[in-house]
Chain A
Amino acid sequence: MSTLAIDKSGPRRKVKYGSMSRDRVWAMRWSYFFLALFAAFSLLPPIYMLITSLKSSAEISAATNPWWVYHPTLSNYVELLTSNQFLRFFWNSAMVSIVVVAITMLISVPSAFALSRMRFWGSATLATGVFLTYLIPDTLLFLPLFKMFALFGDLTGIQLINRWYVLLLLYPTLTVPFATWIMIGYFASIPKELDEAALIDGASWLQTLTRIFIPVALPGLIAATIFAFTVSWAQFLYPLVFTTSTDQLVMPVGIITTLIKGDVFNWGQIMTGALLGAAPPLLIYAFLMDYYIAGLTAGATKG
């Protein structure tokens, strides 16, 4: 019945077949080129630190190739790791960072949950406000904060300045807003039906948070944890201003104030200290990264 004529000569070949994959190859080449460039740029300083940390003071000041170690020595490491002072800095840093991470998560997770899920008057404005506070730099805040704590000490007799634990109050001003913002984003990506299902199943808000939201938003939680830890571990300005006694110092400030004596820079130990100081965030990052990816693939998407 059909009178349609079918051309049996076969389809014509396009000449430029496979151009899609050729484009991709070039995209790969360019991206590897820039990645290599970036890797070199960011890895050279730590490599230089490692090289310098393996040299004696004499070799550092000698006029030899600075990128090569002629007489490797671990003396810088031995000295630092057997010095009570350095271990004290390390301990203070660890204490401060761990407690700050805990405080940050305890505040930001529930507040992010409230801001993203409980509709109340002004919640949207509040969410934006939380983020805006993050935009105020610490260089602008440290003087008023110092005055506040000084006044607080005068009025109550409780002296917080020059105590390592004052940092537990200061760091969350940096970590909580951003961590909250990250968590709001993650919680917002959880479908609304999930908490409605939990609500109907009989869960309270708190149970919905602890048994549904936190497990499902684990990757976000880890991202926020990494952020809070990195910020507290590396923070320099606040401890420099608020702590002065050697036994109260954290690592970044401790290394600078004790290893630079006048105009004498103990470069070998400074570099060793910096490397050792960079290790914990690196380790935590490496460990949590695995977890982070595992969390992503373990079904943390909507059912």
Chain B
Amino acid sequence: MAEVSLRNVVKRYDDVEAVRGIDLDIADHEFVVLVGPSGCGKSTTLRMIAGLEDITDGDIVIGGDVVNDVPPKDRDIAMVFQNYALYPHMTVAENMSFGLRLKRYPKAEIKSRVAEAARMLDITDLVDRKPKQLSGGQRQRVAMGRAIVRNPKVFLFDEPLSNLDAKLRVQMRIEIKKVHQKVRTTTVYVTHDQVEAMTLADRVVVMNKGRIEQIGTPNELYHNPATRFVAGFIGSPAMNFLPCRLEEASGKLNVRLTDRLSFPLPGSRAARYQNVPRGEKLLLGIRPEHLTEGNGHAAPGVEPFDAVLDVTEPMGMETLVYFTLEGTQVCGRVDPGAGARDGAPLRMAVDLNNMHLLNEGTGVVL
């Protein structure tokens, strides 16, 4: 077990800069998820920690040692790949024990470690099978077992659930979380799926274009995103962004969407945005759950308005409604009993207590 630190890590391929200076400190036992769209440098970062890619600049520290020039096998890490990368000619037990056999561990210990890991992952009945005889989920368990038996300082996961179907993915997600609760090994996990990131991580690292956009707990990222990218990336359906301006009317601060529509800011938000220049081009960020049906008696900071729904998506416990608000397509979540229908008008309400204001030019959340 160990801490992992990245200090100004850069990766350049010829003239393409894949990773542009990353600083990240991962605590012992921590589960950190690197998340971002494809090409954001998250996998490259993981592979640099693994030692599968050389780093162009900076330092990678595992357990207090700078490992820039240490080969993968001496970094004491284990990695789980997206396509499992099981050795096809070996049985499950042989796959799991390959690393230990190379290091010439005593046979009895190899046997007990494999048995222990197989028990933990519920694959005891499969140890004599070849990878070809296993389902996708079982193969992924074996790949995890191969990592666990080595008892490494750090686990690295490279999109391990992307090849599984949706249902199995949810199941394996829970499985991975359970395993981490048991073995407590420092884990770096790469995914492009923000739900996976939110559900698994102690801390999430959101990456974009080779840089870290924001680091934080899932709740911090969700409720206090730092940039438009994070605000739009975390959460599903994504946050709505509406062009707006701040204006003062009779001593109160309003957020004006268009000439026809403006909302007064609630007290807490008004104080927060006091110093934002009036008239500057801004974006109003509202999550779908804060665009709900207007139920008559409005709470403070909840402002009603009328909308005509374009499309509704009944999800069972809620209904997603899509409508155009002053020229921008937005998504809201209403109660299934609210009577939302395709093409029908509906009284909606926006909860401005949970609003975000962003600078349209820089994308920074104010």
Interface residues of A, Cβ cutoff 8 Å to B: 191, 193-194, 196-203, 207, 211-212, 215-216, 218, 298-303
Asked if B98 and A201 make an inter-chain contact with CB atoms under 8 angstroms apart, the answer reads yes
Q: Which residues of B are at the interface with A, using a C-beta cutoff of 8 A?
A: 50-52, 71-73, 77-79, 81-89, 98-99, 102-103, 130-133, 139, 143, 146, 150
A194-B89 contact, Cβ under 8 Å, with A200-B78, A201-B73, A299-B131: no
- Asked if A303 meets B52 with Cβ closer than 8 Å, knowing A200-B73, A201-B98, the reply is no
Assess whether A194 is in contact with B87, with CB atoms less than 8 Å apart.
Answer: yes
Interface SS of chain A: helix
Taking CB as reference atom, which chain B residue is nearest A214? Answer: B89
Contact B85 A193 (CB under 8 A): yes
**CB contact between B103 and one of A202, A218, A302, A303 (< 8 Å): that residue:** A202
Q: Is the CB of A203 within 8 A of B73?
A: yes
Task: Report yes or no: A303 in contact with B72, Cβ–Cβ below 8 A.
Answer: no
In angstroms, how far is the closest chain B Cβ from the Cβ of A263? 58
* Contact flag A303-B73 (CB < 8 Å), given A200-B78, A202-B99: no
Residues of A within 8 Å of B87, CB to CB, are 194, 197-198, 212, 216, 303
User: Contact between A302 and B77 (Cβ–Cβ < 8 Å)?
Assistant: no
Say whether, besides A203-B73, A301-B132, A197 and B85 are in contact (CB < 8 Å).
yes
- Report which of B83, B102, B103 forms a contact with A193, defined as CB distance below 8 A: B83
Q: Are B102 and A202 interface neighbours, CB within 8 A?
A: yes
Establish whether residues B72 and A199, one from each chain, have CB atoms under 8 Å apart when the complex forms. yes
**Which 10 A-B pairs rank lowest in CB-CB distance, beginning with the nearest?**
A303-B86, A193-B85, A299-B132, A201-B99, A202-B73, A303-B131, A197-B85, A215-B89, A193-B81, A299-B130
A211–B99 Cα distance when bound, in Å, is 12
- B155 CB to nearest A CB, Å: 11
Contacts of A200 on B, CB cut-off 8 Å? Answer: 50-52, 72-73, 77-79, 99
Q: Which residues of A contact B130 (CB under 8 A)?
A: 298-299
**Interface contacts beyond A194-B85, A197-B85, A200-B50: sample of 5 additional A-B pairs, CB < 8 Å, sorted by A:** A191-B85, A193-B82, A200-B73, A211-B98, A299-B88
Q: Contact: A207 with B81, CB < 8 Å?
A: no
Q: Which residues of A contact B83 (CB under 8 A)?
A: 191, 193, 302-303
Interface contact B88-A199, CB-CB below 8 Å: no
Enumerate chain B residues within 8 angstroms of A299, measured Cβ to Cβ: 88-89, 130-133
A231 to B279, CA, bound (A): 84
